[in-house]
Amino acid sequence: MLSIENITKIYHQGMITEMKLFDRFSLTVGDGQFVSVVGSNGSGKTSLLNIICGSIPIESGDVKLDGRSIARIKDYKRYATMGRVYQNPALGTCPNMTMLENMSLADNKGKPFGLSRGVNKKKIDVYREQLAALGLGLEDKLHVKMGNLSGGQRQAVALLMATMTPLRFLILDEHTAALDPKTAEIIMELTDKVVREKGLTAIMVTHNLRYAVEYGNRLLMLNRGKIVMDLEGEEKQKASIDSIMEVFNRISIE
């Protein structure tokens, strides 16, 4: 279980542009939940993900994993149990390295590299099978540089790479926003498949209200660092795009 307890986050502290985004903000995410997070720009969506991952500090409060504080643990150490897929398909992968080299790096996350070869040729067939499961024909492009793939292909590989090692949490930071509608649908279907098959706890920030309604088992709406909507279970199943949009428009006007 992930617990965010009474955190306070202040940007530009002590300056004329000082802004307190979170003020004693709390949130608990249970194991196995797939949480969609929506809200307008500046509502705190991405900041929330960065705080969970340890990318930005907090002024006070705590972040706990199974009751153990991780607030002072560096981000790269948190990624031992977390995978993250970013909005920009270019992030999370190395464009000048081949897909095989990228997957080898991801497969060795958290392990000592030493001076051995970076690519284990015995794993090539395994990687090819994993790519074939995506259904995008990528299994025959292992030796193609990542930078030469389309945005959707790179995002699919980034999703696979983020979940290659044993994980508990998958963090999705608007990971379909930079894709065309057809490719975004494919990536969302792959995301749902990966989360269910691996039994992950997932937190997805999205501007697409339909994805927030159709995917996952919990929906949060943030506004100025506060939770203004929290639906799960039967409430989440009954939610509609229109009902979510009504609340979204109302708080935007306010």
Nearest to 154 by CA among 80, 85, 211: 85
Contact 25, 7 (CB under 8 A): yes
**pLDDT value at residue 115:** 46
**CA distances (Å), origin 19, targets 23, 44, 51, 116, 137:** 11, 12, 16, 48, 47
Q: In the sheet that 19-29 helps form, which strands lie side by side, from edge to edge?
A: 19-29, 2-11, 60-65, 68-69
Buried b (16+ CB within 10 A) or exposed e, 105-141: bbbbbeeeeeeeeebeeeeeeebbebbeebebebbeb
Handedness of CA 212, 152, 141, 91 (dihedral sign): negative
Q: What is the pLDDT along the chain (254 residues), one digit of tens a residue?
A: 999 999 999 999 888 999 999 999 999 999 999 999 999 888 999 999 999 999 999 999 999 998 999 999 999 889 888 999 998 877 888 899 999 999 988 888 766 655 455 677 788 999 999 899 888 889 999 999 999 998 889 999 999 999 988 889 999 999 999 888 888 998 999 999 999 999 999 999 999 999 999 999 999 999 999 999 999 999 999 999 999 999 988 887 66
Q: Are the CB atoms for 253 and 230 separated by under 8 Å?
A: no
Question: pTM of the predicted model, to two decimals?
Answer: 0.90
Coil, helix or strand at residue 211? helix
Q: Looking at residue 44, what is its pLDDT? A: 93
Q: Do residues 4 and 25 make contact, with C-beta atoms less than 8 angstroms apart?
A: yes
